Amino acid sequence: MRKKSVIIILSVLLIDQLSKYYIVKNFKLHESVAVICNIFHITYITNTGTAYGMFQGYGNILLIFAIIAIIIISILVFTQRTYSLTHSLAFSLILGGAVGNLTDRLFRGAIVDFIDINLHFWPANPWPIFNIADSSVTIGVTILLIHSIFHRK
């Protein structure tokens, strides 16, 4: 299980950081390019808050929280022997995403976001701009929630 977890964590981290590197090198801040007009854009912004742009301006507190969360999740991933494949996958996705955004926070001073699902035909756009790491954390948490709902004892 640990080997698979490491592969998942490193894959998320690599894909996240490579995508952000591409965006930073090829886009100007706030530049937006339509991929699917009125639905999906690549829009380069930075974010000092948490996933999906929440809690802007709390960078130092979020940095400490992220480090503590990464330590706790690392302990869960690498010390427990009784986790199911589902738990290992979920915790690995969360950890990979958390490390990806922490890397940005430490080396760039802000998180790079670029995935813009912009539903112009919708009265109020429900999706903030996000990145691969945010998606990974969200998918991991969703897996844990669904698993806990359907596998109650």
Using one digit for the tens of pLDDT, what is the confidence trace for 9-23? 999 999 999 999 999
pLDDT, tens only, 73-102? 998 888 877 678 888 899 999 999 999 999
Q: What percent of the chain has pLDDT over 90?
A: 58
Number of separate domains in the chain: 1
Query: What's the confidence (pLDDT) of residue 60?
Result: 77
Query: Is there a contact between 125 and 119 (Cβ–Cβ < 8 Å)?
Result: yes
Helices and strands, counts by H and E, the chain: 4, 3
Distance CA 70, CA 66 (A): 6
Is the confidence at residue 120, as pLDDT, over 80? no
* Three-state DSSP class for residue 69: helix
Q: Which residues are catalytic?
A: 113, 134
Query: Is there a contact between 48 and 111 (Cβ–Cβ < 8 Å)?
Result: yes
Query: What's the confidence (pLDDT) of residue 151?
Result: 79
pTM of the model: 0.88
Is the confidence at residue 122, as pLDDT, over 80? no
Query: What's the confidence (pLDDT) of residue 153?
Result: 59
For Cα atoms 117, 120, 142, give the angle at the middle one, nearest 5 degrees: 30
Distance CA 133, CA 17 (A): 9
pLDDT tier, 71 (very low <50, low <70, confident <90, very high otherwise)? very high
**In whole numbers, what is the pLDDT of the chain averaged over residues?**
88
Domain boundaries, position 119: 2-150
In the predicted model, what is the mean pLDDT of residues 41-57? 80
If one compares 34 and 121, the residue with the highest pLDDT of the two is: 34
